[in-house]
Amino acid sequence: MTVAETTTVAAAAKVPEHFTMTEDEIIAKFPTRLRGFDLYRKMGSPKNIVAPMVDQSELAWRMLSRNYGADLCYTPMFNAKIFLNEQKYRDEQWQTNETDRPVIVQFCANDPDILLKAASLVAGQADAVDLNLGCPQHIARRGHYGSFLMDEWDLVSKLIRKLHENLEIPVTAKIRVFPEVEKTVEYAKMVEAAGAQIITVHGRLREQKGHKTGLADWTKIKAVKDAVKVPVFANGNILYQEDIQRCIDATNVEGVMTAETNLYNPALFSGKILPSWQLAEEYLEICNDVPTKPAYIRAHLFKLFRYSLPIHTDLRQKLVEVKEMDGFWQFVKDMKVRLIADAEGSDFDPEVVVVDEFGYRKYPHWICQPALRFEHDKEHSKSKRLLNEVQADTPADATDCATGGCDAVDNDAKRQKTVVESV
């Protein structure tokens, strides 16, 4: 065999067997289906992106988020098998309307054929279908999906390729990172080769969840961005509006996705500092027109009033017991009266930025703000502003802290504040 023949055989051997069509054949099959940056531009070149959040990024919440600057929204993660087989689940989970664009529908799956059938049910109403490869929760382990497919590259490739070769709208994917940057990059390149037209990189490991969440690694996100040719979205470490541009500057990604911070402050992308009751009222107004499960509404109100409920504890129990819209409205009205009274006795000025010793902004409890959680540092008696820099061991100028751009160190502190992003 000649060198040329050997090279040809070797090249052919690298093409997985489940790649049943060439890229040219796929383009011929779907001549109008958008790819990569054409898809990104058709969706308006989104920069501010609402993440897929189970039972939380439902239509009403997506509509509220769009009112405050969200350029692109993902649906909650749908279980492909249940979505395909149960009409009730499908009707409850999948809602959309003429204002809900661009929108990407996310599925979790481990069977390519089932995934394709489920995705086909939304193909005429969405801009793309996303494969969840990032969920780190125990239910994902039991169900064999999400980040627990990270070690099964062949299956991941088959899932994406099945959609790429057969679905009339584009397929995208959301991944997590590995401890090794090289493995992360190779994983992303495999996802791209299978047919993903946009890749979202959550810069945390599969093990980083719950109290072990910690920081997302922007350097790994940048490494993926440098290695692939499709648009990349970053996910992780977003607390304030200016963190979005900081992330773009650090990673060169096309867009930035946020999950939990959006839930606590849906006005995040606008940069507006707003009272929680205002966002709650606007959300309920939308829910008046868009049927929304009471469990979803209750969960959103708990997050919007996260810092006020521990103060007005009697209203917390009322929220637990509410089951209908009238009750939700009464709860918000009661809370609004309390919070306006609290605000009238305060000298808070939204134009003046005040930060704590960690560099986090200090807001009164009635203002929508990111959720900050504490993690005890058993090995060191110092605290870091754990936002964008994993290694932060020098004090920063207070001015930088005021803009959310520092890593303030306090050698006497005994706790670390960490930012938690959901799936």
Tell me the catalytic residues: 135
Number of H helices, E strands in the chain: 18, 11
Report d(CA 318, CA 387) in Å as an integer. 35
CB atoms within 10 A of CB 74: 27
What whole-number distance in Å separates Cα of residue 45 and Cα of residue 41?
Answer: 5
Cα gap 381→360, rounded to integer Å = 19
> Which of 225, 239, 231 is CA-nearest to residue 421?
239
* Interatomic CA distance for residues 74 and 53, integer angstroms: 8
Which 3 state secondary structure label does DSSP give 336?
helix
CA distance 334 to 261: 25
Which residue in 362, 357, 363, 364 sits closest to 338, CA to CA?
A: 364
Backbone φ and ψ of 173, nearest 5°: -150, 150
161 closest CA partner among 126, 196, 128: 196
Residues contacting residue 91 through CB under 8 Å, at least 6 positions apart: none
DSSP state of 357: T
* Alpha carbons within 13 A on the beta-carbon side of 279: 32
- Structure tokens that stand for 323 in this block: 């089951």
